[in-house]
Amino acid sequence: MNNDEITCEHDCKSTCTMLNEALRKETAIVRYYEGMLEECNFPEVRSFVMDFVDEKRKGILRIIQKLNEIHAKSHTIDGVIQSFDKTEG
């Protein structure tokens, strides 16, 4: 994959394009390996691939957690900004 294919928008309001793309690709990789497992009957290879899939799933969860953190921070910042924008009258 060429790094030029992905560009950061540098405007991470509520989400992150880079992390969303990473999540999409990691999920596709897990599906690919799960498909391999359906065809594989060699126990040593199945075990190895299952361990690999488990590690990838942990990575996916970490990406989701980070995206949730970014969303929560953005929501908090929006609330603070709105509290300053309110005019008393």
Q: Phi/psi at 7 (nearest 5 deg)?
A: -125, 140
Is 44 within the bounds of a domain?
yes
Distance CA 73, CA 14 (A): 8
Per-residue pLDDT tens over the stretch 56-75: 999 999 999 999 998 888 76
Domain total in the chain: 1
Is 32 within the bounds of a domain?
yes
Is 17 within the bounds of a domain?
no
Query: Which pTM value belongs to this model?
Result: 0.72
Per-residue pLDDT tens over the stretch 14-58: 578 889 999 999 999 999 999 999 999 999 999 999 999 999 999
The boundaries of the domain holding residue 65 are 22-83
Alpha helices in the chain (DSSP H): 17-39, 43-85
